[in-house]
Amino acid sequence: MEFLAGLVDTALGTAVDVLPIAVILVVFQVAVLRRRVPNLGRILSGFAAVLLGLTLFLIGLEQALFPIGETMARQLAAPEAAAAGTAQVDWRDYMLVYAFAAAIGFATTIAEPPLIAVALKAEEASGGLIGSWGLRIAVAVGVAVGVSLGAFRIVTGTPLSWYIIAAYVVVIAQTFRSSRSIVPLAYDSGGVTTSTVTVPVVAALGLGLAANVPGRNPLVDGFGLIAFASVFPIMSVLGYSMATSWLNRLRRARRSREEAT
Amino acid sequence: MRGPVVALSRRLFGAVRDLAPIIVVIAFFQIVVLQQPFPNLGSVLVGLVCVVLGLTLFIQGLETGLFPLGEAIAHAFARKGSVAALLAFGFCLGFGTTVAEPALIAIAAEAADVASGAGVVADDDAAREAYAFNLRMVVALAVGTAITLGVLRILKGWPIHVLIIGGYLLVTAMTAFAPDEIVGVAYDSGGVATSTITVPLVTALGVGLATSLNGRNPMVDGFGLIAFACLTPMIFVLGYGMVV
């Protein structure tokens, strides 16, 4: 019964989420475009599938993953060394937290529905040149590094803005060295990573860490992991594209040298 | 009958593969590192079945519903040729999908607590609620502006990196002047604005526009709307923090 009540609740929540979109679409359709949408029935059934799918997905996450993930994040954030009462915080006591942050950042990103959508679209728009799995793995690696570094920042208590600004500088430098056709996609992948699956677990990790590490304030230091998880994928996607084009150039150069001899 | 069954089982397998890393990571840390049994294994398994089915349906719906709809709208606007209507649509889409976003409501409430703790806002419920409401409006306005600007960029073919890097520089400069307690909130607000349903729709809209306009390339011009939607909330929230 509780399960059913949760299902209805989540379904209502998702419907409220979609309502503004539906209203805007209908108003513009009727008032401005005044053209019949092709395959309307199919699109509506697709919309229904998205709603039902998202509802099931969210309720399943609530039921299966979030409770364990959040408890786990809190437990790992309070290692025995710190509990023993050493007032001095040593960042090396938290190695397991960094490992967990990286692993869970990677894993939740792979399952992130908006990223799947963008990756499918990118594969289609690039004519298969950018594989959807290659993109998703590159983004997930970026999130893993970002969340892990973000955990390190909370433990050491260093200012958020140093890291984020340094990351921006690297992204700007990479932008000027990258091909024009990857840059917009890379920028987009920063925003889609932090969504349904990643945010609750990563936020729990941040708040847990800030509450358990001596001298940290959850209100001030708990925020910011999401920001890490949004900047680092840009870096990793640009890096991935730079690495592949560099390898291709190397291969071509070697081939032409072999042909010359 | 065999075709759809094969397609469906392929999608189900895909969803299992997408979720495998989370299951492996959680199981590894629970069993090997923390050395604890799983609490309520039964309900966890039921939940996992829901997650797999849900992801399968969602991806099915993306390809039959959200993507074609985004493309159809893009083509219809491109054919109609009214820039003003298109920009108005972009603004409404950005504003409307953000203002009711649960993640944003949650973060705005937390931000109000932080602000009242820091003494920026009076320490009573009405003042906190007003602050949280204003913050939500600011972020929704920011996303509306972002989609409008992003669509205009696709129409004009402006290079994205100039705008985005300019925005980053602005964020950096504003960080130096904004009060400390708003900085974390501002940075996080960039990420919460893009929901699971908005992203596919907006991406399909951008790629569809770039495909149907002459001289625009879907890779170079079609992507980037999400990037704007992540950037402008930071600028707007930092600005709000400086004004209040």
And the tokens for A183? 């840059």
Asked if the model's pLDDT at residue A246 lies above 60, the reply is: yes
Identify which of B92, A28, B188 has the alpha carbon closest to the alpha carbon of residue A37.
A28
- Confidence at residue A80, expressed as pLDDT on a 0 to 100 scale: 54
Q: What is the dihedral of CA A205, A206, A211, A217, to 10 degrees?
A: 180
Q: What is the mean pLDDT of residues A19-47?
A: 82
SS3 of A48-84: the string is HHHHHHHHHHHHHHHHHHHHHHHHHHHHHCCCHHHHC
- The pLDDT tens digits for B72-115 are 888 888 888 888 989 999 999 899 888 877 778 877 887 788 77
Identify which of B102, B207, B110, B57 has the alpha carbon closest to the alpha carbon of residue A19.
B102
CA–CA distance, B147 with B95 (Å, rounded to integer): 9
And the tokens for B88? 């108005």
CA–CA distance, B55 with A56 (Å, rounded to integer): 8
B54 and A196: CB-CB below 8 Å?
no
B197 and A17: CB-CB below 8 Å?
yes
- Give A92's DSSP letter: G
Interface test with A, best of B116, B197, B228 (most A CBs within 10 A): B197
Of A15-24, A91-100, B6-15, B115-124, the one with minimum mean pLDDT is B115-124
- The pLDDT tens digits for A68-111 are 887 887 777 775 544 444 556 677 778 888 999 999 999 999 99
- ipTM for the predicted complex comes to 0.85
CA distance B7 to chain A (A): 15
Residues in chain B closer than 8 A to A167 (CB atoms): none
- The pLDDT tens digits for A112-143 are 999 999 999 999 998 888 888 999 999 999 99
Residue B27 — pLDDT band, cuts 50, 70, 90? confident
Q: What is the mean pLDDT of residues B52-70?
A: 90
- Kindly report the average pLDDT of chain B as a whole number: 86
Nearest to B188 among A42, A62, A226 (CB): A226
Q: What percent of chain A has a predicted confidence (pLDDT) above 90?
A: 26
B96 and A23: CB-CB below 8 Å?
yes
Q: What is the mean pLDDT of residues B141-158?
A: 93
What's phi and psi for B231, nearest 5 deg? -80, -50
Identify which of B45, B226, B72, B38 has the alpha carbon closest to the alpha carbon of residue B149.
B226
- The pLDDT tens digits for A139-175 are 999 999 999 999 999 888 888 878 888 998 899 999 9
Q: What percent of chain B has a predicted confidence (pLDDT) above 90?
A: 30
